[in-house]
Amino acid sequence: MDRRQFLALGALAALPVAGLAVSCDDGSPRPAQRLNFTNRLRIPPVLAPESDGRIGLNMQAGSAELLAGKTAATWGFNGSYLGPTIRLRRGEQVRMAVTNRLPELSTVHWHGIRVPAAMDGGPHQLILPGETWTPQWTVDQPASTCWYHPHPHGSTAMHVHKGLAGLLLVDEPGGPELPDRYGENDIPLILQDKRFTAKGEFAGDVLTGTFGLLGDTMLVNGTHDPYLEVAHRRVRFRVLNASNARMYHLVFADNRRFQVIATDAGLLPAPVEVGTVALTPGERVEIVVEFAAGESAILRSQAREHGMDLNDDYGIDKGDFDILRITAAARLTDGPPVPARLSPVGPVQVPSGAPVRRFTLNGSGSINGREMDPSRIDEVIPAGAKEIWEVRNPGFAHNFHIHEVAFTVLDGGGEPTYGGRKDTVFVPPGKTVRLAVEFGRHTDPRAPYMFHCHILRHEDNGMMGQFLIVEPGTENSVSRHIPGPAHGH
């Protein structure tokens, strides 16, 4: 909606018209959104490899019926909105073929996947329109829920918002017995908040205000007003926050408790029973929920009480949304309870005397006083290092994501992490989060990995830095200046 239409609506709102809800354009959504649950939840299809074994992704423009009876111009992978779910098995050789059929350059990053830097799909691995990028790697990480999305510096917010995002599930043979029938008792939930024009097109500027776009309308897997029918007593949900800026606090309307079984980097050592779980952009969580035959449950994101958290004052966390209604069939298939032990992978243990690196998130667009510069290496790290990273946030709400690592949150985080390993963490205003970080072993003295705030407006603004992983002992001999993106302009 443009300024003039907004003013016109404002004038209308001043009239005593019953039931006319108006959201403001200042970043504050309506206080609560209740749904009717009229549309069956879409489940992204699983992408099968092509006959030559490659996994083919096409980035393309299209249009999608996101609101009933209306169409929006969108982008998607292999379709018009979002992308298929890609399943990888530990030990497998992956060969991707990503073709850019968009009118502009982009990249595709495998968020949470442990890959050599040249395969990471960050801002340096540009794919020009018409080009195909063919990264490959061997899957070597525990079972986890990861995702893929574009990462072109300065345009990530727009590309993701238009619809470019999908799930990457890593499977590991021999793991604990958990609900694993995709689409039946293993359900992906990709959460995004949007704004729409009256015609059903996307509205709002992803690069406006402090946080960029905060929506007033929820989409789950691209479905507005969704419901889900289940026929299993225990259902696993893999929840991804693929929103540009919004943080969710998930609860059930009847306050039922559920089990958290995994965070970003994989399964927890043991399940943790909770009544609520929080997700900032880029984070994932897996939960198992129990249903009784014939009942319905409503999953919501609850606004935090005012004053509980500084970020209320900044508008990031005011939303109170219905997310999904789940209805259980009259007869349910039973399955085993969640095992008491899940993963043997414990917290990251950092040796005493390990290096401590300190980062301050400044304003809404720099780290340690510097904006992202694609030609500047900020940190050089020996392969396999374990280090303490201290992330200080004197200002607005942020989070912090590091590519190609798993970390344990030691202290200062705004939300519990259940002893699980992560790659993205909430950094509340006024807090310093300390992370025990385990770096990967792929080395490359020329291709950097990224660390950044995953509020995409901040990332695009420059709240991002670059690190190299190098052979131990060569940290001081590598160049800290690198050429810009291979296809830079």
Which C-beta is closer to ligand C2O: that of 86 or that of 235?
Answer: 86
Element (H, E) at 398: strand 398-402
Among 254, 62, 85, smallest CA distance to 167 is for 85
Provide the 3-class DSSP secondary structure of residue 125: coil
d(CA 274, CA 112): 24
The answer to whether 389 and 357 have CB atoms below 8 angstroms apart is yes
Which C-beta is closer to ligand C2O: that of 29 or that of 121?
Answer: 121
In the complex, minimum distance from the CB of residue 96 to Cu ion, in angstroms, rounded to a whole number? 16
Please, what sign has the CA dihedral across residues 101, 106, 110, 114? positive
Residue 457: contacted member of Cu ion, ligand C2O, none (CB under 5 to 8 Å, by partner type): none
Provide the 3-class DSSP secondary structure of residue 243: coil
- Residues 455, 464, 469, 482: which binds Cu ion (CB under 5 A)? 455
The answer to whether 224 and 191 have CB atoms below 8 angstroms apart is no
Residues making contact with ligand C2O (CB under 6 A) = 109, 111, 149, 151, 282, 401, 403, 450, 452, 454
In the complex, minimum distance from the CB of residue 438 to ligand C2O, in angstroms, rounded to a whole number? 18
- Residues 162, 238, 318, 398: which binds Cu ion (CB under 5 A)? 398
Which C-beta is closer to ligand C2O: that of 271 or that of 448?
Answer: 448
Element (H, E) at 4: helix 3-14
d(CA 404, CA 121): 11
Q: Which of residues 425-454 bind Cu ion (CB under 5 A)?
A: 453
Binding mask 102-131 for Cu ion (x = CB under 5 A): ---------x--------------------
Provide the 3-class DSSP secondary structure of residue 62: strand
In the complex, minimum distance from the CB of residue 452 to ligand C2O, in angstroms, rounded to a whole number? 6
3-state helix, strand, coil in the chain (%, to 5): 5, 40, 55
Residue 151: contacted member of Cu ion, ligand C2O, none (CB under 5 to 8 Å, by partner type): ligand C2O
Q: In what order do the strands lie in the sheet with 39-40?
A: 39-40, 226-232, 321-333, 296-301, 248-252, 277-279
Residue 458: contacted member of ligand C2O, Cu ion, none (CB under 5 to 8 Å, by partner type): Cu ion
Q: Which range binds Cu ion by CB under 5 A, 214-222, 258-266, 330-338, 392-400?
A: 392-400
CA dihedral 248, 253, 256, 262 (to 10 degrees): -20
Chain residue at closest Cβ approach to ligand C2O? 111
In the complex, minimum distance from the CB of residue 358 to ligand C2O, in angstroms, rounded to a whole number? 20
HSE at residue 48, side-chain half, CA atoms within 13 A, is 2
Using the rule CB under 5 A, is 224 a contact of Cu ion?
A: no
Which C-beta is closer to Cu ion: that of 221 or that of 244?
Answer: 244
In the complex, minimum distance from the CB of residue 110 to ligand C2O, in angstroms, rounded to a whole number? 9
Residue entry with tokens 């994932």: 284
Residue 398: contacted member of ligand C2O, Cu ion, none (CB under 5 to 8 Å, by partner type): Cu ion
Residue 380: contacted member of ligand C2O, Cu ion, none (CB under 5 to 8 Å, by partner type): none
Residue 282: contacted member of Cu ion, ligand C2O, none (CB under 5 to 8 Å, by partner type): ligand C2O
In the complex, minimum distance from the CB of residue 401 to Cu ion, in angstroms, rounded to a whole number? 5
Which C-beta is closer to Cu ion: that of 264 or that of 322?
Answer: 264
What contacts 24+ positions apart, CB below 8 Å, involve 54-57?
A: 54/95, 54/96, 54/97, 54/134, 55/86, 55/94, 55/95, 55/96, 55/97, 56/96, 56/97, 56/99, 57/83, 57/96, 57/97, 57/98, 57/99, 57/108, 57/148
Residue 453: contacted member of ligand C2O, Cu ion, none (CB under 5 to 8 Å, by partner type): Cu ion
Residue 442: contacted member of Cu ion, ligand C2O, none (CB under 5 to 8 Å, by partner type): none
DSSP state of 117: G
Which C-beta is closer to Cu ion: that of 108 or that of 287?
Answer: 108
Residue 168: contacted member of ligand C2O, Cu ion, none (CB under 5 to 8 Å, by partner type): none
In the complex, minimum distance from the CB of residue 80 to ligand C2O, in angstroms, rounded to a whole number? 22
Buried b (16+ CB within 10 A) or exposed e, 303-321: bbeeeebbbbebbbbbbbb
Cα distances from 259 to residues 286, 289, 337, in angstroms, run 8, 7, 11
Using the rule CB under 5 A, is 284 a contact of Cu ion?
A: no
Residue 299: contacted member of Cu ion, ligand C2O, none (CB under 5 to 8 Å, by partner type): none
Among 315, 296, 304, smallest CA distance to 276 is for 304
Among 452, 458, 346, smallest CA distance to 403 is for 452
Residue 162: contacted member of ligand C2O, Cu ion, none (CB under 5 to 8 Å, by partner type): none
Cα angle for residues 55, 57, 63 (degrees, 5° grid)? 150
- Residues 191, 458, 462, 467: which binds Cu ion (CB under 5 A)? 458
Which C-beta is closer to ligand C2O: that of 264 or that of 309?
Answer: 264
Using the rule CB under 5 A, is 403 a contact of Cu ion?
A: yes
In the complex, minimum distance from the CB of residue 8 to ligand C2O, in angstroms, rounded to a whole number? 38
Q: Which chain residues interact with Cu ion by CB under 5 A? A: 111, 398, 403, 453, 455, 458
